[in-house]
Structure 1
Amino acid sequence: MVYLFFVTHWGLSVLMQSLFLHRYAAHRMYTTGPRTERALHLLTLLTQGSSYLEPRAYAVLHREHHAFADTEKDPHSPAHHRNPFRMMLETARRYAGYLTGRRQPEARFLGGYPEWPLVDHTFNQWPARIGFGALYTLFYWRFATRRWQYLALPIHYVMGPLHGAIVNWCGHRYGYRNFRTRDLSRNTLPVDVVCMGELFQNNHHARPANPDFAARRFELDPTWQVMKLLDRWKLIHLVHGTEGLHPPWSKASSLL
């Protein structure tokens, strides 16, 4: 039961971070109605739980990442940090600044992301995070059969930021490149299998408006498959014809 819970929590958390926070909030790779948007917002909240990330702050950080990729202004680049912990600590500081309003981004990074002030404010407070953490702990207390299984609990607590650390650290250090970009982005296989397509970083940085992060025949983007299914069910509408287009905060690239 504990193994199933861990795999389910990991998979759903990564999927919603990719589907809603990344491809919708940051990039607007699809459109949807207000009810579906709220439903996706709530699903992201429930699946991320104690590590829930506000769509606005996430979108701003991600747009900065594209604009300043692997430069000193990049909010999370392994090129300027000795280890992933230092990298994500700096990211957390900047995220907190945007969340509280103590830090203001450039105007070009603002707008186009979903906002739900009541939900976002409530679930970015420590009581809510601790509450979710307590639920995870109670589940393990009830179903864990070995003491060492409790070692997985901290991963549940920080699932969202942990996913970001894996993607940004591995995706700019390890793997191969399909495109010549001005950054260090790479495609990291087979780790990408557990990151729902997010570790096709080189493909994504080369074509930041393309909703399909796969670029070659042997590459498969799981989140893109989910998006196609939701589009078929008319829950979302995919923005087609975007390949090769670049938002004002992205960098140009070319095929290797």
Structure 2
Amino acid sequence: MSLLIFIVLHWYTSLFFQSIFHHRYAAHNLFTMSRFWEKVFYIGCFITQGSSYISAYTYGLMHRLHHAHTDLPEDPHSPHNDPNPFIMMWTTRNNYFNLHIGNVGTAEKYKKNLPDWKSFDKIAHNYITRIIWIGIYVLIYFFLATAWWQWLLLPVTVLMGSLQGMAVNWWAHKFGYQNYSMKNTSKNILPVDIIFWGEAYHNNHHKHPQRPNNASRWFEWDMGFQTMRLLHHFKIITIKS
């Protein structure tokens, strides 16, 4: 039970920072925050994503390219370019690192207002740090696992952030329903999203990429937007109107 609680907490906290900081702040600039709070969110990303930590700058750049070239060959993570989700994860990984190290030329318009904390990423974004995180996860499983089969969940913990990205980017272009007719295959995965912080409303998001609330219909509920409202209330962020 303790290990299950850890995995659930890891899922929601990791996805919170990916949804709110990487996606809505870095990629779409849906709200503003002070430099202090930006650094707090950077550290939060590192603590919750651990071995699957990704650069907010590179994520934001890659996601903007996804919106600009959805389902086309230039899309850095489209299920229409790969035969299965695991190959798509590998393709996404390669495209991400090529962008991160500057191997791909990208128009300056996609780089505008991206958060960038280079000195922090030198520590957080390297293989030595990832290996240390894996060691920490092994220790957590050593103390919390009560059956051999629970160790089969260790790869999920190690790859948490990547699996979350794959789940949304694969499923939301393969399965679900559409509120809006689009020139791409974006879909809403769940009618009531209590799993993906509102990221399940992918069709809504592609229709209105600069709208803070991904929910469109009466039964849809964007947990990420509601969290943003709370952060806005406490003056941690300022949601753009």
Which TM-score band applies after superposition, normalised by the shorter structure? over 0.9
Q: Distance in 1 between matches of 2:143 and 2:211?
A: 44
- The answer as to 2:21 corresponding to 1:20 is yes
In the TM superposition, residue 102 of structure 1 has moved relative to its aligned partner by: 2.0
Deviation at 1:181, TM superposition (A): 1.4
* Cα deviations by residue, 1:85-144 (Å, 9 ceiling, x for unpaired): 111211111111111122232222112111111111221111100111110110110121
Does structure 1 residue 179 correspond to structure 2 residue 180? Answer: yes
Query: Could you tell me which residue of structure 1 aligns to residue 199 of structure 2?
Result: 198
Cα separation, partners in 2 of 1:191 and 1:159, compared to 1, 3 Å: farther
Q: 2: CA distance between counterparts of 1:221 and 1:26?
A: 18
**Does residue 210 in structure 1 map to residue 211 in structure 2?**
yes
How high is the TM-score relative to the length of structure 2?
0.97
Q: Which moved more, 1:92-101 or 1:15-24?
A: 92-101
Count the aligned residue pairs: 240
Q: What is the match of residue 221 of structure 2? A: 220
Distance 2:239 2:223 in 1: 15
For residues 91 and 201 of structure 1, the distance between their equivalents in structure 2, rounded to whole angstroms, comes to: 18
Structure 1 distance, partners of 2:83, 2:194, is 26
Deviation at 1:192, TM superposition (A): 3.8
Partner residue, 2:160: 159
Asked if 1 retains the 8 angstrom alpha-carbon contact of 2:168 and 2:199, the reply is yes
- Structure 1 residue 39: deviation in Å? 0.6
CA distance in 1, matches of 2:59, 2:155: 22
SS in 2 for 1:226: helix
| Residues in 1 aligned to 2:35 and 2:57: alpha-carbon distance in whole angstroms | 16
Other-structure match for 1:169? 170
Query: Counterparts of 1:158 and 1:59 in 2: how far apart (Å)?
Result: 19
Aligned to 1:45: 46
User: Percent same amino acid at aligned positions?
Assistant: 39
How far the C-alpha of 1:206 sits from its partner, in A, is 0.1
Q: Cα 1:223–1:38, aligned 2, differ >3 Å: closer, same or farther? A: same
AA at the equivalent of 1:61: M
Q: Which residue of 1 aligns with 2:62?
A: 61
The SS at the match of 1:94 is helix
RMSD after superposition: 1.1
For 2:75 and 2:161, how far apart are their aligned partners in 1? 19
Q: SS of the counterpart of 1:25?
A: helix
The CA deviation string for residues 3-62 of structure 1, in whole angstroms up to 9 with x for no partner, is: 111000011001110000000000010001111111111101111010001011101110
C-alpha separation in 2, matches of 1:46 and 1:208: 28
2:75 equivalent in structure 1: 74
CA distance in 2, matches of 1:72, 1:205: 18
Aligned 1:71-110 pairs, distance under 5 A: 71-110=72-111
Please give the residue correspondences for 1:113-192 in structure 2 after superposition, counting only pairs within 5 Å. 113-189=114-190, 192=193
User: For structure 1, which runs of at least 5 residues remain unmatched after alignment?
Assistant: 241-256
Task: Give the 4+ runs in structure 1 shifted more than 3 A.
Answer: none
Instruction: Give 3-state SS (helix, strand or coil) of 1:194's partner.
Output: coil
Distance in 1 separating the partners of 2:41 and 2:212:
17
Of stretches 197-206 and 182-191 in structure 1, the one that deviates more from structure 2 is 182-191
Q: Does structure 1 conserve the Cα–Cα contact (< 8 Å) formed by 2:77 and 2:92? A: yes
Q: What is the alpha-carbon distance in structure 2 between the residues aligned to residue 102 and residue 233 of structure 1? A: 40
Q: CA deviation at 1:190?
A: 5.7
The one-letter amino acid paired with 1:87 is: M
2:137 corresponds to which letter in structure 1? Y
Give me the whole-angstrom Cα distance separating, in 1, the residues matched to 2:11 and 2:191.
17
Distance change (3 Å), C-alpha of 1:97 and 1:191: farther
TM-score by length of 1: 0.91
> Structure 2 counterpart of 1:85, which letter?
F
